[in-house]
Amino acid sequence: MKILVINAGSSSMKYQLIDMNDESVLAKGNCERIGIDGHFKHTTGTGKKYEIDVTMNNHTEAFVQIKDALLDKEHGVITDLGEVSAIGHRVVQGGALFSESKIVDDEVIAGIESLIPLAPLHNAAHLQGIRACLDVFGKDVPQVVVFDTAFHSTMPEKAYMYAVPYEFYEKYAVRRYGAHGTSHRYVSQRCAELMGKDIKDLKIITCHLGNGSSITAVDGGKVVDTSMGLTPLDGIMMGTRTGSLDPSVVTFIAEKENLSPSEMDTLLNKKSGFLGISGISSDDRDVSEAAEKGNKRAKLAIDMLEYQILKYVGSYNAVLGGMDALVFTAGIGENQYSHRASVCHKLEYMGVKIDDKLNEEYIHGNWGKISTPDSSVEIWVIPTNEELVIARDTKALVEASK
Ligand code: ADP
């Protein structure tokens, strides 16, 4: 069974074709700058590459590029579209409507549409992706949606409510939903497997640290709290996003600078975080390099990030009543070992012991356990694989529906 996984953004569409017999990636790529000028990249599992500048006016035109590349004589990986058994889509916001993955039907489409106000750019783009697949593949190829928020749907009320007047929860469903759920789900389950234990018996804190970052407390396989909120702006500071703030900072700056809500939104989402503090870059590699060369603001950005990770881990440790494992994943979590070291050394008071040598070795695709045998908590570096989770859910739902 071959499954096409689609991650449609407002101006991009990433894809992977996965052979579920051995879960290998047959091809993957990205349609970038849809509706702008257009660039298309495609790589096969055997390393053949194809890349062109091509205008893609909308997601259906982008999808035609994907289809043509998959079928191409030179760099294609299938000979007939019929080989694609199903399509799985990443959907950012499932709100309180979707606590698990679903086969796409009219009701599911209406549900995703109704959640557009909570994720305007993302959910609208996902729907374009779903409709583009319908245009190109027709109704006979089943489509499945996997929600980024679903894994967090087990959070208790006391964790997801904000202390604003209750009517705003009732009127607009304002609450914490979290994000990166598919990644937190994958790495927490993988961690339990690697530890040789049932996830039901484990308390795990998962740190997804990338351009966007979130930290989640997982008790017995269920999320009890997560750092991202109504939107992916909450929690720890990120590449260009603030993370948590005193809300008065927002009203104060907006008043002083005479900024509209949407201008303020841009400032908080695109101009803050690593970029805003360092003034250099949103990319951890650039900021770390500058910090090493003595740039004070770059060093401050790094110190702030490590401090905030530590605070979340400490507070979730309290929420869970102790932890069995701490997991690092995503671009920064899998590669920037100095942050892992800094955070874990500060946890030594509670018996956490990191193996510094292994920690420095486990980067760039090397991964595994980085705690010492006598550490009170197992520390793991586990590469995330959201596409694989989407493909597995798609396969399971499609098979169950037959
Ligand atoms: P996204 O949230 O866009 O998926 P990633 O998970 O790729 O982002 O994370 C991007 C961040 O990870 C950047 O700050 C970058 O510096 C860092 N990163 C990614 N790859 C590496 C690497 N090989 N070495 C060091 N840092 C990396």
CA of 38 to the centre of ligand 1 (A): 23
Is residue 91 situated within a structural domain?
yes
Q: How far is CA 234 from CA 18, 55, 60, 247, 319, in A?
A: 33, 35, 33, 11, 18
Radius of gyration of the CA atoms of the chain, in A:
21
Could you give the number of structural domains in the chain? Answer: 2
Alpha carbons 218 and 204: distance in angstroms, whole number: 5
Same domain, 319 and 245: yes
Region 279-303 average pLDDT: 97
CATH of the domain at 73: 3.30.420.40
274 CA: nearest ligand 1 atom: 14
The model's pLDDT over 310-353, given as tens digits with 9 standing for 90+, comes to: 999 999 999 999 999 999 999 999 999 999 999 999 999 999 99
| Strand-pair partners of 143 | 87
Long-range contacts of 212-216 (CB under 8 A, 24+ apart): 212/179, 212/180, 212/238, 212/239, 212/241, 213/237, 213/238, 213/243, 213/330, 213/332, 214/178, 214/179, 214/180, 214/184, 215/309, 215/312, 215/313, 215/316, 216/152, 216/178, 216/180, 216/184, 216/188, 216/316
CA 210 – ligand 1 centroid, Å: 5
> Ligand 1: does its nearest atom lie under 6 Å from the Cβ of 9?
no
Tens-digit pLDDT profile for residues 353-395? 999 999 999 999 999 999 999 999 999 999 999 999 999 999 9
In sequence order, what DSSP letters do the residues of 190-256 get, joined into one string? HHHHHHTS-GGG-EEEEEEESSSEEEEEEETTEEEEES--SSTTSSS--SS---S--HHHHHHHHHH
119 — pLDDT class (breaks 50, 70, 90): confident
Average pLDDT, integer, range 101-112: 96
Note the pLDDT of residue 359. Answer: 98
Task: Answer for the pair 50, 69: CB distance below 8 angstroms, yes or no.
Answer: yes
Q: Looking at the structure, do residues 128 and 226 belong to the same domain, yes or no?
A: no
Nearest atom (ligand 1) to Cα of 210: 9
pTM beyond cutoff 0.85: yes
Same domain, 24 and 118: yes
Q: How confident is the model at residue 21 (pLDDT cuts 50, 70, 90)?
A: very high
User: Distance (Å, rounded) from C-alpha 29 to C-alpha 77?
Assistant: 13
Q: Whose CA is nearest to atom 20 of ligand 1?
A: 331
Q: Is residue 226 part of a domain?
A: yes
pLDDT classification of 402: cutoffs 50, 70, 90: confident
The answer to whether the CB of 10 is under 6 A from ligand 1 is: no
**Are residues 142 and 239 part of one domain?**
no
Local structure of residue 316 (DSSP, 8 states): H
Domain end call among 147, 175, 206: 147
The verdict on the CB of residue 302 being under 6 Å from ligand 1 is no
CA distance 216 to 322: 14
Output the CA 321–ligand 1 centroid distance in Å: 31
260 belongs to a structural domain = yes
Residue 92 lies in a domain: yes
List the one residue out of 9, 5, 4, 3 whose CA is nearest residue 31.
9
**24 and 98 in one domain?**
yes
Q: Is 213 in the pocket of ligand 1 (CB under 6 A)?
A: no
* Residue 225 pLDDT exceeds 80: yes
Q: Is 76 in the pocket of ligand 1 (CB under 6 A)?
A: no
Residues 202 and 314 in one domain: yes
Residues 95 and 211 in one domain: no
Mean pLDDT for 126-133 is 92
Q: In what order do the strands lie in the sheet with 213-219?
A: 222-226, 213-219, 203-209, 325-329, 378-381, 368-369
Q: Does position 120 have pLDDT exceeding 80, yes or no?
A: no
Single residue among 85, 120, 147 that ends a domain in this structure = 147
Ligand 1 within 6 A of CB of 331: yes
Mean pLDDT of the chain: 96
Instruction: Please tell me whether residue 89 adopts helix, strand or coil conformation.
Output: strand
SS3 147: strand
Ligand 1 pocket: which of 278, 282, 335, 359 to mutate (most atoms <8 Å of CB)? Answer: 335
Q: Helix 261-270 and helix 247-257: axis angle, to 10°?
A: 120
Chain-centroid distance of CA 273 in Å reads 17
Same domain for 222 and 332: yes
Domain boundary among 105, 122, 147: 147
pLDDT band at 236 (very low <50, low <70, confident <90, very high): very high
Tens-digit pLDDT profile for residues 143-170 = 999 999 999 999 999 999 999 999 999 9
- Å from CA of 172 to ligand 1 middle: 34
- Tokens encoding 96: 């309180």
Residues 72 and 219 in one domain: no
Q: In the prediction, which pLDDT does 10 show? A: 79
pLDDT one-digit tens code per residue, 201-221: 999 999 999 989 999 999 999
The residue whose CA is least distant from atom 24 of ligand 1 is: 335
Q: Clarify whether residues 123 and 251 are in a common domain.
A: no
| Phi, psi dihedrals of residue 43, rounded to the nearest 5° | -135, 140
Does residue 154 fall inside a structural domain? Answer: no
Token digits of residue 149:
């928020």
Ligand 1 centroid–CA 287 distance in Å is: 12
Are 226 and 217 in contact, with CB atoms under 8 Å apart?
yes
Does a structural domain hold residue 283? yes
Q: Is 291 inside a domain boundary? A: yes
Assigned domain for 160 exists = no
366 in the same domain as 229: yes
pLDDT at 323: 98
Task: Report the catalytic residues.
Answer: 148
| Confidence band of 118 (pLDDT split at 50, 70, 90) | confident
Q: Any idea what DSSP says for residue 371?
A: B
Strands 325-329 and 203-209: parallel
Instruction: State the residue range of the domain holding 265.
Output: 198-386
Measured from the CB, is residue 285 less than 6 Å from ligand 1? yes
Instruction: Extract the tokens encoding 268.
Output: 């908080």
Residues 135 and 261 in one domain: no
Confidence band (pLDDT; 50, 70, 90) for 109?
very high
The separation between the first and the last C-alpha atoms of the chain, rounded to the nearest angstrom, is: 14
- Output the pLDDT for position 181: 96
Residue 117: predicted pLDDT: 86
pLDDT for res 17: 98
Residue 308 has pLDDT above 90, yes or no: yes
